[in-house]
Amino acid sequence: MQSIEELVKEAQAGKEEAFGELCRRFTGLVRSRAGQSFVRSIREDMEGAAWLAFAKAVREYRSGSGHFEGYAAQCVTYAVWNAFQKECKCWQRQAGSLDAEDFPEASGAENVEEEVEKKLLEEKLRQTVDRLSARQRQVVQERLQGRTLQEIAKQMGVSHQAVSRLLARAAEAMRCAWAVKK
């Protein structure tokens, strides 16, 4: 069995089998970075960015500059984070591009600006919640209805720690989408 370093050298020399073997060995890394909780709803885009970063890491890696595994992990993580940041900016631009005419019911209101702002916030919140996983959405909705973690856990058939983790991940995803700092 060839070492990672040997496979990288062969892949850099153009051997497709070596690159294929590297991809097979690093599939877990790429998928785990692309599938982090804050990007589940855009997983395919993130996985594409992660694979491109991995291919670039193989191409640009220089032996003697540390272990390839760490270098690849750093490149993939950085690429996924950048792609996510770009996606967040896109969401913000889309939310900001809505005009008052998108909200006909606001036309008769006394304060049109407040009504438009309210609609924008509602839409952003809806989009943010839609990006959560189904289980995270369920936990958030149940919690907003006043149910305790234990009640939700019993209903879902999981431990209250699992419910707590789902709620924490949902909160983190929402904080990130709304760019709210802890």
Looking at residue 111, its pLDDT comes to 66
Per CATH, the number for 4-93 is 1.10.1740.10
C-alpha 61/C-alpha 72 separation (Å) is 9
Looking at residue 25, its pLDDT comes to 92
Taking residue 133's Cβ as centre, other Cβ atoms within 10 Å add up to: 15
The half-sphere exposure of 13 on its side-chain side, counting CA atoms within 13 A, is 9
Looking at residue 8, its pLDDT comes to 92
Mean pLDDT, rounded, for 154-170: 89
- Kindly report which listed range (30-39, 91-100, 116-125, 150-159) carries the lowest average pLDDT score: 91-100
Taking residue 126's Cβ as centre, other Cβ atoms within 10 Å add up to: 10
Instruction: State in Å, rounded, how far the first CA of the chain is from the last one.
Output: 47
The structure's pTM equals 0.50
User: What's the token pair of residue 71?
Assistant: 């270098």
